[in-house]
Structure 1
Amino acid sequence: MVDTTERRPRMQGVLERIAEARRGDSSESLAAAFLLVATLLALGWANSPWGWTYDAFWHGRIAITIGGTGIDLDLQHWVNDGLMALFFFVIGLEVKRELAIGELRDRSQAAVPLAAAIAGLAIPAVLFLLLNPSGEEAAAWGVVISTDTAFLLGALAVIGPGRAERLRIFLLTLAVADDVGALAIIALVYTDELHPIPLVVAIVGLAMVWQLRRLQVWRGGAYLVVSLVTWVALHESGVHATLAGVLIALLLPVYPPKRREVEQAAELTRRFRQSPNPEYAREARLGLDRAVSVNERLMRLYQPYTAFIIVPLFALANAGVALDGPTLAAAARSPLTWGIVLGLVVGKFVGITGATAIAVRLRPGGLAPGLTMPQVAGGAALSGIGFTISLFIVDLALAGSPALADEARVGVLVASALALVFGAVVFRVGARLSPQPEGPSRDLLRPVDPRRDHIRGPVDAPLTIVEYADFECPFCGKATGGIRQVREHFGDQLRYVFRHFPLDDYHPDARQAAEFAEAAAGQGRFWDAHDRLFAHADELDVDSLRRHAEALGLDADRLEEDLRDGDEANRVVDDEIDARTSELPGTPTFYLGVAGQPPRRLEGPHDAATLIAELERLRASESV
Structure 2
Amino acid sequence: MPRLAVRERLRTEPGAALLLVAVTLLALLWANSPLSGAYERLWELPIHVDVGDLRFDMDLHHWVNGGLMVLFFFVVGLEVRQELAIGSLRQRSQRLVPLVAGTLGVVVPALVFLAVAGQKDPAGWGVVVGTDTAFLLGVLVLVGPTMSSQLRVFLLTLSVVDDFLAVGIIGVVYSEDVRIAPLLVAAACLGVLWLLGRMKQWRSAPYVLVVVVLWGATVQAGVHPSLAGMLAGLLVPALATRRADVLEAKSLFRDYWQSPNAGVARYASVGLARSISVNHRIHELLRGPVSLIVVPLFALANAGIDLRGGALGAALGSVITWGVVAGLVVGKIVGVSLGTWGALRVSLGTLPDGVGPGSVMGGAALSGIGFTVSLLVVNLAFDDPADAQAATVGVLIAMVVATVLGRAIFTVARVRYGEASADLPVTLTPAVNGERDHVRGDEDAAHTVVEYLDFECPFCARATGMGPELGAHFGDRLRHVVRHLPLEDVHPHAYLAAVAAEAAHRQGRFWEMYDQLFSHQSQLEPDNLREHAAAIGLDLERFDADMGDESLHARVREDQASATASGARGTPTFFLDGVRHRGPHDARTLITALEANEIAPAARRPS
Rounded Cα–Cα distance in structure 2 between residues aligned with 1:434 and 1:505? 38
Contact between 2:355 and 2:422, CA under 8 Å: does it hold in 1? no
1:114 aligned residue: 99
Deviation at 1:69, TM superposition (A): 3.4
2:498 aligned residue: 529
> Would you say 1:126 and 2:111 are equivalent positions?
yes
| TM-score, length-scaled by structure 1 | 0.73
1:48-127, aligned counterparts within 5 Å?
48-67=33-52, 69-127=54-112
Deviation at 1:155, TM superposition (A): 1.2
1:211 aligned residue: 195
Contact between 2:321 and 2:391, CA under 8 Å: does it hold in 1? yes
Deviation at 1:511, TM superposition (A): 10
Which one is further off, 58-67 or 509-518?
509-518
Q: Identity of aligned pairs, percent?
A: 40
Contact between 2:354 and 2:422, CA under 8 Å: does it hold in 1? no
Rounded Cα–Cα distance in structure 2 between residues aligned with 1:518 and 1:60? 58
1:282 aligned residue: 266
2:555 aligned residue: none
Deviation at 1:258, TM superposition (A): 3.0
1:622 aligned residue: none
1:157-556, aligned counterparts within 5 Å?
157-363=141-347, 366-398=350-382, 400-436=383-419, 476-478=437-439, 509=464, 517-518=486-487, 522-523=491-492, 525-529=494-498, 532=501, 545=518, 547-550=520-523, 552=525
Q: Closer, same or farther in 2 for the Cα pair 1:476/1:22, shift >3 Å?
A: farther
Deviation at 1:257, TM superposition (A): 2.1
Any idea what the Cα deviations from partners look like across 1:40-81, whole Å, max 9, x if unmatched? 111111011111211111011100013453100000110111
* Partner SS state of residue 103, structure 1: coil
Rounded Cα–Cα distance in structure 1 between residues aligned with 2:156 and 2:199? 32
* Partner SS state of residue 370, structure 1: coil
Contact between 2:31 and 2:304, CA under 8 Å: does it hold in 1? yes
Rounded Cα–Cα distance in structure 2 between residues aligned with 1:206 and 1:250? 10
Which one is further off, 156-165 or 354-363?
354-363
Q: Closer, same or farther in 2 for the Cα pair 1:475/1:267, shift >3 Å?
A: farther
Contact between 1:341 and 1:412, CA under 8 Å: does it hold in 2? yes
1:558-597, aligned counterparts within 5 Å?
575=564, 578=567, 586-587=577-578
Aligned length: 512
Deviation at 1:359, TM superposition (A): 2.7
The residue type equivalent to 1:180 in the other structure is: F
Deviation at 1:532, TM superposition (A): 3.6
The residue type equivalent to 2:74 in the other structure is: F
List structure 1 segments (4+ residues) > 4 angstroms apart after TM superposition. 465-470, 473-476, 498-502, 504-516, 519-522, 533-541, 551-556, 574-577, 583-589
Contact between 1:345 and 1:381, CA under 8 Å: does it hold in 2? yes
Contact between 1:529 and 1:552, CA under 8 Å: does it hold in 2? no
Rounded Cα–Cα distance in structure 2 between residues aligned with 1:186 and 1:199? 16
Which one is further off, 336-345 or 192-201?
192-201
Contact between 1:369 and 1:445, CA under 8 Å: does it hold in 2? no
The residue type equivalent to 2:498 in the other structure is: A
Contact between 1:532 and 1:548, CA under 8 Å: does it hold in 2? no
Q: Closer, same or farther in 2 for the Cα pair 1:520/1:203, shift >3 Å?
A: closer
Q: Closer, same or farther in 2 for the Cα pair 1:548/1:222, shift >3 Å?
A: closer
Q: Aligned-residue CA RMSD in angstroms?
A: 4.0
Rounded Cα–Cα distance in structure 1 between residues aligned with 2:165 and 2:466? 35
Deviation at 1:406, TM superposition (A): 0.8
Ranges in structure 1 where 5+ consecutive residues have no aligned partner: 1-13, 447-464, 483-497, 557-570, 590-624
Q: Closer, same or farther in 2 for the Cα pair 1:539/1:91, shift >3 Å?
A: farther
Q: Closer, same or farther in 2 for the Cα pair 1:149/1:67, shift >3 Å?
A: closer
* Partner SS state of residue 567, structure 2: helix
The residue type equivalent to 2:439 in the other structure is: K
2:14 aligned residue: 29
Rounded Cα–Cα distance in structure 2 between residues aligned with 1:159 and 1:207? 43
Rounded Cα–Cα distance in structure 1 between residues aligned with 2:334 and 2:416? 19
Ranges in structure 2 where 5+ consecutive residues have no aligned partner: 444-450, 468-481, 530-559, 581-607
1:40 aligned residue: 25
Contact between 1:475 and 1:588, CA under 8 Å: does it hold in 2? no
The residue type equivalent to 1:422 in the other structure is: L
Contact between 2:14 and 2:142, CA under 8 Å: does it hold in 1? yes
Rounded Cα–Cα distance in structure 1 between residues aligned with 2:91 and 2:214? 32
Contact between 1:523 and 1:554, CA under 8 Å: does it hold in 2? no
Contact between 1:129 and 1:141, CA under 8 Å: does it hold in 2? yes
Rounded Cα–Cα distance in structure 1 between residues aligned with 2:527 and 2:69? 48
Contact between 1:192 and 1:239, CA under 8 Å: does it hold in 2? yes
Deviation at 1:164, TM superposition (A): 2.2
Any idea what the Cα deviations from partners look like across 1:213-251, whole Å, max 9, x if unmatched? 233221111222222111111110011122222121111
Contact between 1:120 and 1:351, CA under 8 Å: does it hold in 2? yes
Q: Closer, same or farther in 2 for the Cα pair 1:311/1:538, shift >3 Å?
A: farther
The residue type equivalent to 2:520 in the other structure is: R
Contact between 1:62 and 1:74, CA under 8 Å: does it hold in 2? yes
Deviation at 1:436, TM superposition (A): 4.7
Rounded Cα–Cα distance in structure 1 between residues aligned with 2:483 and 2:237? 26
Contact between 1:467 and 1:588, CA under 8 Å: does it hold in 2? no
Deviation at 1:363, TM superposition (A): 2.6
Rounded Cα–Cα distance in structure 1 between residues aligned with 2:228 and 2:466? 37
The residue type equivalent to 1:374 in the other structure is: G
